Structure 1
Amino acid sequence: MFRTVRSARTTALTALCCAAVFPGLVGCGVFSEVGSELGSAADEVQSELEDAAREVLTEGQLFTGTKTLDVDGASVHVSCSGTPSDGRPVVVLMAGMGDGLDTLEGLQETLAEDERVCSYDRLGEGESDQPEGRQSIDDAGRTLTVVLEDVAGDGPVVLVGHSLGGLIAARYAPDHQDRVSGLVLLDATSPTMIDDISDVIPESATGEGAEVRAQNMAIFEGENPEAIVIDSDPEVRSAGEVPVEVVQHGVPYLGEIAEYGDDLERVWSEGQEKWLALSDRSRLSTAEGSGHYIHVDEPDVAVDAVRRVVDEAAA
């Protein structure tokens, strides 16, 4: 996540049929031959069965398409594709700031050919409700927990986060090692991004540098679609012995910022290296032909990274 002032190169920092589950049961006339003396009882039982069927069909582990979840009274938009497989983790995609799950549609569609894949809009993004006030990374984590409980139950997940979504995933995983079995970070926001910007662009800066600094400081203080405050914390805690793929951009788009571009590219790269501390099984690679949106610029790079982590997590 990094906001520049040139609009031309600004990056965003910004159901299954019931017959398939209950064949010949729900809505199929199972009680059509019940005697009239049992009519009312049969109607009651049928109603209960239909309610049970609807409940099962809306479980995240089974539904395909989109739906909304209630998270403390707020509506969160969720999308799932693909078929669950025994022993395979559910892949959960997490977009960057300013993006809805639609920006991950292509990645989700490709991965769903072989995996169960879900995505969601965080509060303030896409079709989800607006947050009631300022949020923290921990608040975003609590929303993520509700999503994971719905789409994966008690099963394992691989979190795939782009930009701010990557930072949230990386902060979440160490506290949920019983659930998160792998991570893919696509040009994830650095754990020390706000300090990095402050160090590179001094308060005395003028011109474009001053605008970039002020804009990003405001974003990190909560002036963003999610009203999320992003603190700088150099500590990267272990997420356990899980496979982690860290993929950084290779096209130096930050380098276009006058005077400070080269140093901004340097600290961004250093920030990607910090995420390697998540696991002894972490790997860092560069998407040479990509800007910030690796899953759009080089979708095969993102797909391959996710598949490697899922395969390792399922082994």
Structure 2
Amino acid sequence: MSQLKGLRVRAWVLALAIVATLPAVAAEVPVPRAAYTLQAELQGDGPMAVVFESGFGQDAVAWKAVIKSLGPECRCIAYGRAGLGDSGTDGNAKTIDEHLADLDAVIATLAPGRKVVLVGHSYGGLLVSEFARQHPDRVQGLVLVDPTTMGQRHAFRQADPARVQADDAMLLSMLPPAMAADYRALVARLDSPEAATPAAMPDVPVVLLTATQVAAEPFVFEETAQGKALWRAQHGALFAQFSRGTHRYLDTGHNLHHEDPAAVVDAIREVAATGSVPD
């Protein structure tokens, strides 16, 4: 591993470790669960209810720039999943279904009786897609920010199984034990045979934002030219499952909401306006 790549690896781990220590952007509100309490952040009480799901290992602070830009027009809700930020945990690895149950509780607690715009980055994008598929009547629209897809690992493993295996080993060696357990649970689900079959998505408006930059020093397979081509294809297939919306390609890295928060803000406003129009 080159010196530059080593620096990028250490920076990535440090970002995961300190993200919860950054200043909060909103009032903190507890969301009780059976064995732990999630800590959510609520800002504003505008007509547009927006719930944010962060990427793997990140919490509410990841959306600081986006939420600030939305201002008073938004009832903005962000939170840390179990074990992240100030959110508690029962010590057990969490599956997709368990994370969806927690998201359900956050929405029921902080936006009761309201349809919400769901915004998800990376793994959070997968979660909000699945939530909308299961609860379309509760979703006003989706903003998918360079999202993970159910079928991506099947595509990546078919293209370069050795690289995917090496990436897994590297990540597991770097992650804290609890986060590594969550990663193993996620990989098991995405590697399952049923994950390879695309699921029909609900009739809700969507804006899908795809980051197109190929990294000069790829950290994982997704950042290589081959991985990025497959990533784009996965997003194209995902978008094809929706009946209305927009798919945009942006010249950024994976953390699109940090590099171009205005693009995410515009997407939120677009799906909120579209979703408010009766069919």
TM-score range, shorter chain: 0.7 to 0.9
Partner Cα distance (2:181, 2:37) in 1: 14
Mapped partners of 1:210, 1:167: distance in 2:
21
1:150 equivalenced with 2:79 (yes/no): no
- Amino acid corresponding to residue 35 of structure 2 in structure 1: G
Q: Which residue does the alignment assign to 2:22?
A: none
Residue 141 (structure 1) aligned with residue 96 (structure 2):
no
Q: Which residue of 1 aligns with 2:255?
A: 293
Q: 1:257 to 1:227 in 2, by over 3 A?
A: closer
1:282 to 229, 235, 245: 245
Give the structure 1 partner of residue 275 of structure 2. Answer: 313
Aligned to 2:236: 273
Query: Following superposition of structure 1 onto structure 2, how do residues 5-44 of structure 1 map, counting pairs within 5 Å?
Result: 6-8=6-8
**Partner residue of 2:208 out of 235, 246, 253:** 246
Q: Give the residue type in structure 2 aligned to 1:65.
A: A
Larger Rg: 1
CA distance in structure 1 between the partners assigned to 2:125 and 2:76 by the alignment: 16
Q: Does 1:103 align with 2:103?
A: no
Q: Post-superposition shift, 1:7? A: 4.3
For the 8 Å contact 1:191–1:274, the answer to whether it is kept is no
- 2:265 maps to which of 300, 303, 315: 303
Q: Cα–Cα, structure 1 residues 257 and 103, in superposed 2: closer, same or farther, change >3 Å? A: closer
Matched to 2:238, the amino acid is W
Partner of 1:72: 34
Q: Which amino acid aligns with 2:157?
A: S
With over 3 angstroms needed to count, the CA separation of the structure-2 counterparts of 1:210 and 1:156, relative to structure 1, is closer
Cα deviation for residue 196 of structure 1 reads 2.7
RMSD over aligned Cα atoms = 2.9
Cα offset for 1:190?
2.1
Provide the residue aligned with 2:150 in structure 1.
191
CA displacement at 1:193 relative to structure 2? 2.6
Q: Distance in 2 between matches of 1:214 and 1:278?
A: 33
Give the number of the structure whose residues are more often helix, by fraction: 2
One-letter amino acid matched to 1:211: A
Shift of 1:75: 1.1
Task: Give the distance between the partners of 2:98 and 2:178, measured in 1 at CA.
Answer: 16
Q: Output the CA distance in 1 between the equivalents of 2:180 and 2:198.
A: 26
* 1:45 match: none
Counterparts in 2 of 1:244 and 1:235: CA distance versus 1, 3 Å: farther
| TM-score of the superposed pair, with normalisation by structure 2 | 0.80
Q: Distance between the aligned counterparts of 2:160 and 2:88, measured in 1?
A: 35
CA distance in 2, matches of 1:313, 1:70: 30
Q: Structure 2 CA distance, aligned partners of 1:180 and 1:258?
A: 33
Equivalent-residue separation in structure 2 for 1:253 and 1:223 (angstroms): 28
Deviates more, 1:183-192 or 1:111-120: 111-120
Point out where structure 2 has 5 or more consecutive residues left out of the alignment: 17-25
**Letter of the structure 1 residue corresponding to residue 154 of structure 2:** D
- Counterpart check, 1:123 vs 2:85: no
Measure, in 2, the Cα distance between the counterparts of 1:266 and 1:79: 36
TM-superposed CA distance for 1:306, in Å, is 0.9
Percent identical pairs in the alignment equals 22
